[in-house]
């Protein structure tokens, strides 16, 4: 079962798995939590604790987890997994790139640290993002000025993917209008992200109606290795399909090439 805990800081929801977690637990605990957050217009920062009392997931629980996550993906602002169970920690490491928010795993004795991290997260991220695993395309939706924390989350997601894959097939940026950066720190973090990752990205699609997007392919060709193309804001599906069709790079760049 899943138990809701009351000792979390304001703005953080804490859950503890005990015994066997079933589909019914998602219907009676997770779905009401998500519905309440949606009704209140707030985002979700959640701690999930798997201690020695946890045994397993019942058949159907994983499917219910996937359904809830798919419907509510953009509501999540941060997720901390606290556990000493090896397969829980490994599954978190391998799948965190699918989440649109930063995800961290902590040892069982680091619960207080996990709660502090969730409470310290900035509100209202400038981007939401997720990797489409079938195509290897990173989809980034930009809603407000970009911040250092947004690129930290992006880098964590991309690096997790690149741990087990040669490259990202493509990146698609979706924005009605480019809002710029919150401050100089956000701009520098953006430049560092491009520097550290552009050699392992096949294509970059810009699905945006801003005039700047017309210029970006011409400017980007001087700074990034990836092919860049502009689409209209309503052409998101076309942009994703184009990015997914990028030819695979022949080899991972060497250390000297990525400097």
CATH numeric code, 2-120:
3.30.750
Average pLDDT, the chain: 81
Phi-psi map region of 60: left, alpha, beta (phi>0 left; psi -120 to 50 alpha): left
Long-range CB pairs of 56-63, under 8 A, 24+ apart, other chains included: 56/20, 56/21, 57/20, 57/21, 57/22, 58/20, 58/21, 58/22, 58/23, 60/22, 60/23, 61/21, 61/22, 61/23, 61/25, 61/26, 63/23
Domain residue ranges in the chain: 2-120, 127-244
172-189 pLDDT tens trace:
999 888 777 866 777 788
pLDDT digits (tens, 9 = 90+) for 11-56: 899 999 999 988 888 888 888 888 888 777 678 899 999 989 998 8
**pLDDT class of 203 with cuts at 50, 70, 90:** very high
> What is the spatial order of strands in the sheet that 76-83 belongs to?
2-5, 13-21, 44-57, 76-83, 103-106
Contact indicator for 13, 44 with CB cutoff of 8 Å: yes
Which has the closest alpha carbon to 69: 122, 130, 123? 130
Residues 91 and 69: their CA atoms lie apart, in Å, by 16
Question: Which CATH number is correct for 127-244, 3.30.750.24, 3.40.50.620, 3.40.190.10, 3.20.20.140?
Answer: 3.30.750.24
For the stretch 148-160, pLDDT in tens is 778 888 888 898 8
Nearest to 152 by CA among 117, 110, 176: 117
Choice between 219 and 211, residue whose per-residue pLDDT is larger: 211
The pLDDT of residue 126 is above 80: no
pLDDT at 96: 75
pTM over 0.95: no
């Amino acid at each position: 079962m899943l138990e809701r805990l009351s000792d979390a800081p304001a703005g953080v929801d804490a859950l503890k798995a005990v015994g066997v977690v079933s589909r019914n637990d998602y219907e009676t605990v997770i779905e009401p939590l998500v519905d309440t957050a949606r009704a209140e217009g707030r985002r979700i920062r959640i701690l999930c604790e798997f201690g020695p009392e946890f045994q397993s997931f019942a058949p159907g629980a994983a499917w219910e987890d996937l359904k809830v996550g798919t419907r509510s993906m953009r509501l999540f602002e941060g997720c901390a997994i606290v556990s000493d169970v090896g397969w829980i920690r490994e599954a978190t490491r391998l799948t965190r790139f699918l989440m649109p928010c930063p995800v961290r795993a902590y040892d069982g004795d680091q619960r207080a640290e996990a709660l502090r991290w969730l409470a310290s997260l900035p509100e209202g991220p400038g981007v939401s993002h997720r990797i489409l695993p079938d195509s290897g395309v990173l989809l980034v939706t930009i809603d407000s000025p970009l911040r250092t924390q947004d690129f930290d989350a992006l880098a964590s997601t991309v690096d997790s993917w690149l741990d087990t894959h040669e490259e990202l097939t493509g990146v698609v940026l979706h924005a009605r209008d480019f809002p710029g950066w919150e401050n100089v720190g956000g701009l520098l973090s953006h430049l560092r992200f491009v520097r550290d990752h552009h050699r392992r990205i096949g294509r970059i699609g810009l699905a945006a109606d801003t005039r700047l997007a017309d210029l970006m392919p011409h400017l980007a060709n001087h700074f990034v290795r990836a092919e860049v193309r502009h689409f209209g804001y309503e052409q998101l599906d076309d942009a994703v399909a184009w990015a997914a069709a990028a030819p695979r790079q022949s080899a991972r760049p060497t250390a000297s090439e990525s400097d």
